[in-house]
Structure 1
Amino acid sequence: MPNASAAHLTRRGILAAGGALGLGAVLTACGDDKASSGAGSGKETAAAKSGPWTFKDDRDETVKLDRTPANIVAFVGVAAALHDYGIGVTGVFGPTRLQNGKADVQAGDLDISKVTVIGNVWDEFSVEKYAALSPDVLITTMFDDAGTLWYVPDASKDQIAGLAPSVGISVYDRQMTEPLQRVYELAESLGADVTSKKVTAAKKRFEDAAARLRAATKAKPDIKVLAGSASQDIFYVSGSNLSIDLEYFKALGVNFVEPSAEALKASGGWFENLSWENVDKYDADVIIMDNRTSAIQPDAIEEATWKKLPAVKAGQVIGRNPEPILSYDKCAPLLEELAEAIEKAKKVS
């Protein structure tokens, strides 16, 4: 899969990979160019366990510590997921704070004023700030099968690795339920009460939402769904393989528009890029668009070819987060929204 260091991808192409593939925001336009920090550690961990702590990650690497980590530094989306389980972090990296000071969509319910932001945009990671936090562990995701830690800069990865052990959760070529379960297990190991009413209710809501989406696709199997992402010059159409959300939605019966293998080849199988003149290449009844701040949002797209699309004219466009916050609390609404869109959709293609 194309990763951020892949030489054949342009900076904008990587962003689209973020839009279309589930990769992250790499344009600096929507982020702060300087790492920023907030007061306090944001620790919320209730009754963190004492004694040794071990966790085997998706690289088959096992972290062993004398005690449960207290100073956790995590990719912002992972931090947001842990927050939903009552586990706080000390520092975050990745798209966290917008230029207006508000939280990025990938921060979820995190109080970003209470964590240290050691990097807010692609390739920004303050090793000095990281070291100053005395981190016990670094946690992030992985978008390939090579163990590449997401948003950890290649140039400083060895220095970063020398300061604390890392945990990688794979979000590559698997269904959403797998990394969801892994983060659930990770949170439990860190002291989360996964038997709490909040967590069990969120898990049931997710399961109910999955059943609803399956029922919706069974009732309307001919509704075609296109997963897209918009940049200034290119419209990206995702294939349904490799991305955790699309793979899961497909397993629940969603009828996706699928670019050909040849069209996907240049991106390693993730997406096809179209010029805006060719944005009508595929017929679709529902369009799900990258809703992160790294992508142009549907209401800001001025291209006439976009406005003429049947799904756009019918108002059958919803958001999609290609990097879902991996808690049941945050993933359930994604299924509910797509189920509702299919339930209400008219056949327009």
Structure 2
Amino acid sequence: MKSLTATRLATLILAPVLAVAALTGCSSAAAPGTSSTADAGADAPWSYTDDTGTTVTLDHRPTKIASYADYAIGLLSYGIDPVAVFGRVDVASDSRFADYDISKTAIVGNSYGEIDLEALAAASPDLIVTGIYPTDREGTLDTTSAYYGFADTEQQAQLQKIAPIVAIKIGGKGSDVIDSINRLSSALGASDDTIAAAKQKFDDAAADLTAAAKETDLEVTQMYADADGVYVVKPADEPETELYQSLGVKFTDLNPTGYYYWDIYSWENAAQMMTGDVLLTNVEGFQAADLAAQPTFVSDPALVAGQVHTWNQEALDYASQAKHMTELAQVLRESKPL
């Protein structure tokens, strides 16, 4: 889910950092989707064009990857162990990593935009992986601004001195984001058999979610809430909800052609969005008890019925999404229409 904290942290001033390692690769503009030389041996020259059209070229396939948490999970699912991870929440307690051993991975950031550059440099990555969100539903990418997970362009420039950066476009169809992560994972050495096995589990979970959505016919509200109000995800603008919507899940979508990504409600007008049978509340924001403490929200039907579930944004890879879709199917089957 697109982080609300990204904008709020944009004005942070990055503290001076010790000089870091020199850039180990070069970048140039090229067409997105250009094939890499990943099929060659690990010691052969390596080239990869990311979703921004930037090409990274190295004298070998990168084996020491630093990554934003959301994408590190996808890499881990394909057997690629990152040397460093930074995230928007405490990585050590992030339940999404529960199935993976990251005891040897350097945790270099536990809050959006706060990255220990000295610790990251010490991990000696030869590639840094993060994301980039479009600025509109047409898919426009603003490559002059900081990529997702970075505080600002100054910090991004410091990171670029440690290792080249590749970005995954987190917009449009969920299946396209999965394809992008698969393409990068293949370029980094993930086997076709590993990806195919994960896809089979994904397909099975997708079919089950479709069945659950049809059986229950419930409306799901995916949201973030804080002291300022309620932010409802627009399902077509978030790749994960777009994926689930394509499989038949109904989402609250009161203004599909309005502002991009979020429908925003103050607590005074929150009643306007109380149409869902199930609430999925972002892990970083208000949960059931916090919502119940809001006088204008305490009567929300889903809240009253106890059909509120903490929801964490999953990585858009086959394994993560198979697990998440299974969880959502269970939520739907355990809920009732209101």
Q: TM-score normalised to the size of structure 1?
A: 0.75
Post-superposition CA distance 1:113-161 (Å, at most 9, x none): 4222222212312333333333211111111222442112322222322
Post-superposition CA distance 1:297-334 (Å, at most 9, x none): 33554325444322223232334333x22332211122
- Structure 1 residue 277, shift from structure 2 partner: 4.4
Q: Distance in 1 between matches of 2:182 and 2:169?
A: 13
Q: Distance in 1 between matches of 2:244 and 2:193?
A: 27
> One-letter code of the match for 1:92?
V
> One-letter code of the match for 1:138?
I
Percent of aligned positions that are identical: 30
Structure-2 change in CA distance of 1:271 and 1:4 (3 Å):
closer
Tell me the equivalent position of 2:127. Answer: 137
Of the three residues 255, 264, 267, the one matched with 1:273 is 264
Q: Find the residue that maps to 2:272 and give its secondary structure.
A: coil
Q: Find the residue that maps to 2:142 and give its secondary structure.
A: coil
Tell me the equivalent position of 1:188. Answer: 186
| Pairing 1:110-125 to 2, within 5 Å after superposition | 110-125=100-115
Of the three residues 25, 39, 50, the one matched with 1:57 is 50
> One-letter code of the match for 1:180?
I
> One-letter code of the match for 1:152?
F
Moved more, 64-73 or 209-218: 209-218
| Pairing 1:82-101 to 2, within 5 Å after superposition | 82-95=75-88, 97=90
| Pairing 1:210-229 to 2, within 5 Å after superposition | 210-221=206-217, 223-229=218-224
Tell me the equivalent position of 1:179. Answer: 177
Is contact 2:88-2:113 (8 Å) kept?
A: no
Q: Distance in 2 between matches of 1:3 and 1:330?
A: 19
Q: Distance in 2 between matches of 1:108 and 1:62?
A: 33
Tell me if 1:325 matches 2:320.
Answer: no
Of the three residues 279, 283, 293, the one matched with 1:287 is 279
| Pairing 1:181-260 to 2, within 5 Å after superposition | 181-196=179-194, 199-221=195-217, 223-260=218-255
> One-letter code of the match for 2:176?
E
Q: Distance in 2 between matches of 1:3 and 1:217?
A: 27
> One-letter code of the match for 1:55?
Y
Structure-2 change in CA distance of 1:55 and 1:104 (3 Å):
same
Q: Find the residue that maps to 1:280 and give its secondary structure.
A: helix
Structure-2 change in CA distance of 1:79 and 1:261 (3 Å):
closer
Structure-2 change in CA distance of 1:118 and 1:287 (3 Å):
same
- Structure 1 residue 220, shift from structure 2 partner: 4.4
Q: Distance in 1 between matches of 2:255 and 2:56?
A: 41
> One-letter code of the match for 1:218?
K
> One-letter code of the match for 2:292?
E
Q: Distance in 2 between matches of 1:158 and 1:186?
A: 22
Q: Distance in 1 between matches of 2:277 and 2:265?
A: 18
Q: Distance in 1 between matches of 2:216 and 2:192?
A: 36
Cα RMSD for the two superposed structures: 2.9
Tell me the equivalent position of 2:306. Answer: 315
Q: Distance in 2 between matches of 1:84 and 1:225?
A: 28
Post-superposition CA distance 1:33-60 (Å, at most 9, x none): xxxxxxxxxxxxxxx8332222221112
> One-letter code of the match for 2:86?
F
* Greater relative CO (CA pairs within 8 A, separation 6+): 1
- Structure 1 residue 258, shift from structure 2 partner: 1.3
- Structure 1 residue 3, shift from structure 2 partner: 7.8
Tell me the equivalent position of 2:18. Answer: none
Tell me if 1:334 matches 2:324.
Answer: yes
Tell me the equivalent position of 2:142. Answer: 146
Tell me the equivalent position of 2:25. Answer: none
Structure-2 change in CA distance of 1:278 and 1:96 (3 Å):
closer
Q: Find the residue that maps to 1:237 and give its secondary structure.
A: strand
Of the three residues 72, 81, 94, the one matched with 1:79 is 72
> Aligned residues, how many?
298
Is contact 1:96-1:112 (8 Å) kept?
A: no
Tell me the equivalent position of 1:67. Answer: 60
Tell me the equivalent position of 2:160. Answer: 161
Moved more, 59-68 or 304-313: 304-313
